[in-house]
Chains A and B, each alone.
Chain A
Amino acid sequence: MKIEVLGMGCANCNKLYRNALDAVKMSGKEIEVTKVEDIKKIMSYGVLSTPALVIDGVVKVAGKVPKAEDIKEWIKQQGGNAA
C-alpha cells in the first residue's frame, strides 16, 4: 500500500501529512507515506483542491484535512500489509 499527501506545503498540507503518519502508526501496518508537492503531479490526479490524500492511486479526500482515525479506517478498508 502507498499513501500520498498532495499539497504545496501549506499548514493544512503538513497537518494532513502528520495525520497520515499517525494513522499508519495506529494501524500497525507497514505503509509508505510520501509528500507530493509538485503541482503538475498533483493535477495529474485531477485534484483541484488541496490538501488531498491518495491511497494506492485513488483520491480519498481533497480540500479537507481528515482525522487520523478516518485515514486509519481507509487503510483498513484497503487492507494494507501488516508490519
Chain B
Amino acid sequence: MTEKCLCEPNEIIIFSCAGSSNVGQIANQAAIKLAQSGVGRYFCLAGIGGHVSGMIESTKAGKMLIAIDGCPVACAKKTLEHAGFLVQEHVQTADLLGVEKDHQFNLDVADVGRVSDHVASLVSRRKGI
C-alpha cells in the first residue's frame, strides 16, 4: 500500500502505552482505531523514548498530543514529558473502563471501542465541535 504525502499537518498526534498488559493492549488498539478513523495520527512512543530525531521533530510540529496509557504507571505520558512535550489529553484505560490490569491479553473488543469513543469525544470538545 502506498503511503500518502507527509506534507499535511499532523495536528493531533496519538501515543499509546507499549502494551505489555491487557489494558496496555486496549490502549494500543484504541490508538489504531482512532488513527484509522482519522481522529489523529498514531506516532511511535518508542521513537520518543529513543530520542530519534525524526520522531522528536515530527512531534514538535503537532498541535495536540494525546497519551493513552493502560495503567496508572502512565509510561506514555511520562515518556513524552521526559522528552519535553506537554500532553494535552491523557487517558488511562484501566481507570476509564474499571478493568484490572493483568498479563493474559484477553481483550474485550467493546472496551477498545469505549476508549476510542472517549478520546474522540475529548478531541471534539477541544475543537469545539
Contact among B9, B10, B54 with A45 in the assembled complex (CB-CB below 8 Å): B54
Q: Chain B interface secondary structure, helix, strand, loop or mixed?
A: loop
A62 touches B5 (CB 8 A): no
Chain B residues with Cβ under 8 A from A42's Cβ? 6
Q: Considering only CB atoms, which chain B residue lies closest to A46 in the complex?
A: B54
Stretch of A25-33, A53-61, A67-75 with 4 or more beta carbons under 8 angstroms from chain B: A53-61
Q: Which of B2, B5, B58 has the most CB of A within 10 A?
A: B58
CB of B60, distance to nearest CB on chain A (Å): 7
- From known contacts A58-B53, A59-B53, A63-B10, infer whether A47 and B5 are also in contact, taking CB-CB under 8 Å: no
Contact among A7, A13, A46 with B58 in the assembled complex (CB-CB below 8 Å): A46
A39 touches B3 (CB 8 A): yes
Chain A residues with Cβ under 8 A from B77's Cβ? none
B57 touches A63 (CB 8 A): yes
Q: Which of B10, B44, B54, B55 has the most CB of A within 10 A?
A: B54
Q: Considering only CB atoms, which chain B residue lies closest to A58 in the complex?
A: B53
- B72 on interface, CB distance cutoff 8 Å: no
Q: Considering only CB atoms, which chain B residue lies closest to A12 in the complex?
A: B7
How long is the Cα–Cα vector from A43 to B3 in the complex, in angstroms?
A: 10
- B83 on interface, CB distance cutoff 8 Å: no
Chain A residues with Cβ under 8 A from B54's Cβ? 45-48, 52, 59, 62
User: Which residues does B use to contact A, with CB under 8 Å?
Assistant: 2-3, 5-7, 9-10, 41, 43-44, 47, 52-58, 60-62
User: Which residues does A use to contact B, with CB under 8 Å?
Assistant: 7-8, 10, 12-13, 39, 42-43, 45-52, 58-64
